[in-house]
Amino acid sequence: MYLRTFLIVSVISFAFGYDRKITSKLNPDCASCSENTTLVYIRADGDNNTVHHLWDFTRGAPTMITAVTGLNSSLTVSWFKDKPENFLFSEEPMYSFAMAIPEIYEYNDLNDLGHMDGRSAGRGIPLGGRRWARQDSVLTERRAMLLMQARARSRNGTVAVKLDFFPSSGFSPELPHLIHTSNSSLLDVQLVNMSATRGFNSSRFALRLLLVGTEDDRGTMVEDVVKSLDDEHTPGVFEIIELKTPVCARGGGGGGGGGGFLQFRPVAYTEPERGVTTSTVVHTSHFNRTHLEKSTTLFTFYRDHINVELLIRDVFVSFGEPGDGFYRQHNYTAWSTTFGYGAPPVETFSLLVILVICIGLSVPAVLAVSGAVYVAARRCRPHPHRRLDDH
């Protein structure tokens, strides 16, 4: 029993990496911050390095930053009123990767393609400067969780962003049950009751993601589609999408300079009750070169890297499929992704699936062997001696 438990834990540790000790703070070093200010700092100490996570909503656009340093490094945040003004590490990070959602993009899908094609009329809904309300938070040694909500255009329209970090490996509790590790965070975005622009009768919505890494800007971001034989955690979905920085794509996943990634299933949900019948398709655009706006937290964090070595790209993630009635059919879209540094985790078969496979293969094998033994025994059985009498 103990040997089996040890083997299971060893396999999980090998596949997903070592656990980390985490400490979390809300608005660290800020004396003038109010309940309306939200910047969460998570320090995750491992065996060989420390990963610093920053979740920021102080300037409107949801911003997630991950920086990898040595174990003895510390981070100090200086503030100007309720905005972070400087991020000072005691030693230079070995690598950092960041993602922000600067805007929601609405487009009029007149041809009912289900995705952006570059020819549809559209307009951005900037999130910069938007006020976010903190709905819930958990900051313990076992979990860091933050749930934020903001108004979006209409009186009832809202955008909700949930962030999760766990010091160990596993699967997210909600569909699509993405893999999380001690090197990554979970992001879940919900668009609820978004009103359509006047004249847009076929509205769909997309998220513009801004990705930044301390890498050569001449490199190319890569999108990989990984096939899976197992849909145990996300029924009906057999693909995993991975967006990788150049260093990550080259396999530099180990150590401090391993690149960054997003990993998600190509599925979103059109109702709060998530399931196969409420799912829709996720699409991604090409990567585009862009720049950092001076009014953003990303510019504040990467100020000293702007003219040195900094990869800056954006990508649009859209939702829908032909004939689904567009966004107005349900007035709800939820999408999840993991965001982290190093190599994306590899999904393996669970112990239950392995047991089912073993049983499925062993039963026919046992029957075949039993049949062969029975036939052999019949052939080798001695025949009774018959005495022939002369008549």
Q: How much is the pLDDT for 328?
A: 96
| Terminal Cα distance for the chain, rounded | 73
pLDDT digits (tens, 9 = 90+) for 178-234: 999 999 999 999 999 999 999 999 999 999 999 999 999 999 999 999 987 665 656
How do residues 250-297 score in pLDDT, each as one tens digit?
A: 987 444 458 999 999 999 999 999 999 999 999 999 999 999 999 999
Q: What is the model's pTM?
A: 0.84
pLDDT 10s digits, 60-91: 999 999 999 999 999 999 999 999 999 999 99
Look at residues 215, 220, 213, 195 and name the one whose alpha carbon lies nearest to residue 205.
195
Q: What is the pLDDT of residue 125?
A: 94
Q: Whose CA is closest to 86, among 306, 304, 308, 290?
A: 304
- pLDDT band for position 310 (cuts 50, 70, 90): very high
Higher-pLDDT residue of 58 and 19 is 58
pLDDT attached to residue 118: 82
- DSSP β-bridge partners for residue 94: none
Tell me what percent of the residues of the chain surpass a pLDDT of 90.
74
Q: What pLDDT is attached to residue 3?
A: 41
Give the pLDDT confidence score for residue 152 in this predicted structure. Answer: 82
Q: What is the DSSP letter of 309?
A: S
Cα distances (Å, whole numbers) of residue 3 to 8, 10, 11, 168: 9, 10, 12, 21
In 228-321, where do the E strands start and end? Answer: 239-244, 260-264, 267-269, 279-284, 288-289, 311-319
Q: Report the CATH fold assignment for 18-345.
A: Beta-galactosidase; Chain A, domain 5 (2.70.98)
Whole-angstrom distance, CA of residue 133 vs CA of residue 36:
7
d(CA 183, CA 165): 9
Sign of CA dihedral 250, 229, 171, 18: negative
Domain boundaries, the chain: 18-345
Q: Are 104 and 205 in contact, with CB atoms under 8 Å apart?
A: yes
pLDDT per residue as tens digits for the range 93-145:
999 999 999 999 999 999 999 999 888 899 999 999 999 999 999 999 999 99
